Structure 1
Amino acid sequence: MSVAVSLNEAKGFCRLGWLTRIGFGAGDLAQNLVYQTISIYLLIYYTNVYGLDPSAAAFMFLVVRVVDLVWDPLVGTFVDKHSPRFGKYRSYLLFAEVPLSGFAIMCFWNGYSGSLLYAYVTYVGLSMLYTLINVPYGALNASLTRDTNEITILTSVRMLLANTGGLAVAYGIPVLLAKLSPDGKMNTAASSDAWLTTMTIYAVAGLALMLFCFSQTRERVVMGDDETADVRLSDLWTEFFRNRPLRILAFFFVTAFAMMAVGNSAGSYYMIYNIHADAGQVANFMALGSVPAFIFMPMVPAIKRKVGKRAMFSIFLSVAIVGMVLLYVISVVPALRANIWMVYAAQFVKSTGVIVATGYMWALVPEVISYGEYVNGKRISGIVNALTGIFYKAGMALGGVIPGMVLAFVGFDKGSESVQSPLAEQGILWLVAVIPAALLVVALMIISRYELTDERIDEINRVIERRRNV
């Protein structure tokens, strides 16, 4: 029997229908309606609407990520060791989404304005529930198929829908806030009710999309209870130290997510205080953080086949760095800064590189899971996703602390609606361009060491299937 026939008949190498691809991607769309809102807008909500000092908000972001360092591996281990009624991974999409939606809404309720305790309780609760969905959702990706090409297509569809969520947040939230706020602004105490209404709309939409994801996915590549009975919490670090591709990917996650967290949270500050933009221009700028996905993500499978994974990362990370350099140069030259289209163009170039590189990185997670299974016989998808979660949240922690501390250092005036000191403006510019560019240079050096080619992964998956079918 030929290898091609064996692959077609093997249980793990399945072709996925478009409804499954779209259904799975709807889960990332749902998560991004909440995650991107938190990532992009929670800091400006906390400082300008809720009334926290930037340094207090920055410290809280760090504490939440420290809690995640403990919580994520516990969730990953629990998920791998148990098989709930509706699926090892997909069950959590059903059970955890309702409370997640509730906590997302409570994070943007101003009933206890200025209360650090309320902010801590709601944000920690939101983060823990997000992990309870995100870890199984990430593992679900690797359970749908082993086919490398299918994983690439699935990731492209997923990232298109994830960026649809990002676009809905980046563009839709400033527009909604401008319409719902009595003063037409998004960064004043008067806009608090508008924030609550807006987050309620997004949370309910996310709940409906996650239920659709649950209904359209089916697990095919999972280990049985007898195979995962000996899964232990210590497997997380054991896997980390013996799985070199996983280590490379983990460190890439740290730098990539730190870069995104810093740049995303600074974007609205940059447009309001450096460019003196209105709500519509803020919406346009933030939307350009997602728009390139609809142009370039469908091309990813063809680009990857043409140049290979590592070259694709190098090309698009370099494009992102060029975009950030352009954004900085345009911002420091008054004659250029006055042309808003130039600011938009620089944001488009930057976002093109960021979206493709950080979007495709999720396709590498099933690869490192398969590599670990090949080496040690355990397909511990939950633990691997918990581990990548630890590192991307470490990046988020770094990216969450930096903006608040920089704003505190440069004397950001949270009471001002549109004007800051020259030092504060320069600090915001560092956050939106300089620091993210430096992080991308580090990310480029890290991912250049990733050695799992498509051919190597296909060989590994064939060996695993032969073992399982003996």
Structure 2
Amino acid sequence: MEASVPVNRDDSFCRLSWMQRVGFGSGDLAQNLIYQTISMYLLFFYTNVYGLLPKVAAVMFLIVRIIDVIWDPLVGTFVDKRNPSMGKYRSYLITGGVPLTGFAILCFWNGFSGSLLYAYVTYVGLSMCYTLVNVPYGALNASLSRSTDEITILTSVRMFMANIGGLAVGMGIPLVLRFFDSAETTDMSTSDSAWLKTMMLYGVVGLGLLIFCFSQSRERVVMDKSHAENVKVADLWMEFVHNKPLRVLAFFFITAFAMMAIGNSAGAYYINYNLHGSAAQLSIFMGLGSIPAFIFMPMIPSIKRAVGKKGMFYIFLTVAIVGMAMLYVISVVESLRSHMWLVYVAQFIKSTGVIVATGYMWALVPEVISFGEYTHGCRIAGIVNALTGIFYKAGMALGGVVPGLVLAFVGFDQTNEVSQTAFTQQGILWLVAVIPAMLLMLAMFIISRYDLSDEKIEEINREIERRNK
């Protein structure tokens, strides 16, 4: 593989303006407005509005994830090999963003009500277009600057805005649906026109944000055009084999996203059956999963300077484990269980640790890209982001399987909407606190094997620049 060079060597270590940082972060906000809507609400739309059986929709979701595993590395190779006139990576914010928006809207159109073929075509199309935006967007992060401090700030801004998108979807969709369907008295409309209008609104806003991201992004560190033609899909495997920091990060991704998926999926069961809480209390509990991002994500650069990269991971992974331990104790001690404010405090502490640790891990992706460039001379940012995407989805898939197995093991009765046995409640508590805490301990061990310090990655980037000159 050939050497890569930055587009403009003189400013490859530059600091970006806040407009550029916010512009880049708006890309993640845009993707969350579209894809989080799909993730949170498409199953409900398919079963309650479109007319698919739950098991049919579940099989379709699994098939789409399998397609993703094949499609992601193909997209990573595609974007690394090509150099569009509008930018190697940023151009896909437009060329992929337009069809992504179109397919998102079509997924919530009831014109072919009950048609499984239409559902497959639109959902597969949406997932493929999302990858066509998301993989280049991840690679774009590594192309804006080589500065580790700048990458840290960019990641903080990106995660801050991503959580804005998550809140806008999680708490905003029911409100927008009610606006478009004023006759609806429940929290979730079954009006097909209300769903279509809601997705049109979110999709158009998301596309506008992708265009803004495109306008504020300038690629400074990418592979030279003359060397891109040598990139091939097999480079994904070679990169994984020879890039130890990438392997460490990949296994951290699996563990972290499995932990989040398991904990999040159990939240509604926990509030409903263990604490017998209300819908409003569930909303607060789930909302506290995002709120800490707005407090602590802007503080990440300062925290990292004070305690170091690994120190920050150790501290916040420990904070998350403490929060989970608190949830467990509160749930098993009868005198504490009725104090919902204690549950909220524990959830806030847990979420603080999870958000900071899992948010900052995205800042490590540009580092493993630079390490690969330093080792073998090729900056295959698209392929590396495709690889991390595969492990991210593997973690999410694992997180989707474990709760069902645990609930089946403890005898969860889905016909009983009021109460469950003590053994079933204990199983739900495993999903909320015990299993995620065990995964966090594993994640702490995994990240201890990551040996790219800020000083080392800075030295690597300077050496790459010297080679190029």
Identity %: 69
Map of 1:105 onto structure 2: 105
Query: What is the aligned partner in structure 1 of residue 5 from structure 2?
Result: none
The aligned runs of 1:166-177 (5 Å cut-off) are 166-176=166-176
Show the counterpart of 1:419. 418
CA distance in 2, matches of 1:455, 1:230: 31
Q: Secondary structure at the match of 2:86?
A: coil
TM-score (norm 2): 0.88
What is the CA–CA distance in structure 2 between the aligned matches of 1:401 and 1:331, rounded to whole Å?
A: 24
In 2, are the aligned partners of 1:62 and 1:401 still within 8 Å (CA)? no
Residues in 1 aligned to 2:444 and 2:174: alpha-carbon distance in whole angstroms? 33
Give the aligned partner of residue 400 of structure 2.
400
1:131 aligned residue: 131
Aligned to 2:346: 346
Deviates more, 1:214-223 or 1:406-415: 406-415
Q: Within 5 Å, which residues of 2 pair with 1:45-444?
A: 58-109=58-109, 118-176=118-176, 180=181, 184-186=185-187, 190=190, 195-272=195-272, 274-333=274-333, 335-406=335-406, 418-419=417-418, 421-422=420-421, 426-444=426-444
Contact preservation (8 Å) 1:328, 1:433:
yes
Counterpart position of 1:34 = 34
Distance 1:121 1:277 in 2: 39
SS for the counterpart of 1:10 is: helix
In the TM superposition, what whole-angstrom CA distance separates every residue of 1:296-340 from its partner, at most 9, and x where no partner exists? 111111111111111111111111122222223333445534333
Which one-letter code corresponds to 2:156 in the other structure? S
2: CA distance, partners of 1:271 / 1:44: 20
Q: What is the number of equivalent residue pairs in this alignment?
A: 460
Offset at residue 464 of structure 1 (A): 0.4
Secondary structure class of the residue paired with 2:395: helix
Judged with a 3 Å threshold, the aligned counterparts in structure 2 of structure 1 residues 95 and 130 are, in CA distance, closer, same or farther, namely: same
Q: Answer whether contact 2:273 2:420 (CA < 8 A) is retained.
A: no
Question: Does the 8 Å CA contact 2:274/2:425 hold for their aligned counterparts?
Answer: yes
Q: Is the CA contact 1:58–1:404 (under 8 Å) kept in the aligned structure 2?
A: no
**Letter aligned with residue 133 of structure 2:** I
Q: Give the direction of change, closer, same or farther, for the CA distance of 1:411–1:125 in structure 2 (3 Å limit).
A: farther
Maintained 8 Å contact 2:317/2:354: yes
Contact 1:174 1:283 in 2 (8 A): no
Would you say the 8 A contact 1:72–1:390 is kept in 2? yes
**Using the alignment, how far apart are the partners of 2:272 and 2:207 within structure 1?**
31
Q: Is the 8 A contact 2:93 2:210 kept in 1?
A: yes
- So what's the TM-score if we normalise by structure 1? 0.88
Letter in 2 for 1:214: F
Asked if structure 2 preserves the Cα contact closer than 8 Å seen for 1:177 and 1:194, the reply is yes
- Contact 1:54 1:405 (8 Å CA) reproduced: no
Structure 1 pair 34–275 and aligned structure 2 pair: CA distance change class (3 A): farther
* Paired residue type of 2:66: V
Give the 3 Å change call, closer, same or farther, for CA 9–394 of structure 1 in structure 2.
closer
| 1-structure distance, mates of 2:322, 2:348 | 11
Q: 2:90 is matched by which residue type in structure 1?
A: R
The verdict on how the C-alpha distance between 1:253 and 1:54 changes in structure 2, with shifts beyond 3 A counting, is farther
Partner Cα separation in structure 2 for residue 320 and residue 173 of structure 1: 28
RMSD: 2.9
Q: In 2 relative to 1, CA 345–431 (structure 1 residues): closer, same or farther, beyond 3 Å?
A: same
Q: Which moved more, 1:34-43 or 1:343-352?
A: 34-43
**Native 8 Å contact 2:9 2:220 kept in 1:** no
C-alpha distance in structure 1 between counterparts of 2:393 and 2:9, whole Å: 39
The structural deviation recorded for 1:361 is 0.4
Conserved 8 A contact 1:182-1:191: no
Residue by residue over 1:212-247, the C-alpha shift from the partner in whole angstroms, topping out at 9 and shown as x without a partner, is: 111111111111221212111111110110000000
1:151-210 deviation digits (Å, cap 9, x = unpaired) = 1111111111111112222332344456658554346x8476655544333222212211
Corresponding residue of 1:3: none
Amino acid at match of 2:62: L
| Of 337-346 and 107-116, the range deviating more from structure 2 | 107-116
The one-letter code matched in structure 2 to 1:454 is: D
State the alpha-carbon separation in 2 of the partners of residues 186 and 215 from structure 1.
Answer: 37
Amino acid at match of 1:336: L
The separation in 1 between residues aligned to 2:395 and 2:299, in whole angstroms, is: 28
- Take 2:319 and 2:435, find their aligned partners in 1: how far apart are those partners? 16
Amino acid corresponding to residue 421 of structure 1 in structure 2: Q
C-alpha displacement at 1:98, in angstroms? 2.3
Q: Shift in Å at residue 380 of structure 1?
A: 0.6
Shift of 1:93: 0.5
Letter in 1 for 2:323: G
Which residue in the other structure is 1:5 paired with?
Answer: none
One-letter amino acid of the counterpart of residue 227, structure 2:
E
Segment drifting more, 164-173 vs 39-48? 39-48
State the one-letter code of the partner of 1:34: I
Q: Tell me how far 1:265 sits from its aligned partner.
A: 3.3
1: CA distance, partners of 2:200 / 2:271 = 25
Q: Is the 8 A contact 2:68 2:128 kept in 1?
A: yes
Indicate how the Cα distance of structure 1 residues 33 and 433 shifts in structure 2: closer, same or farther if over 3 A, else same: farther
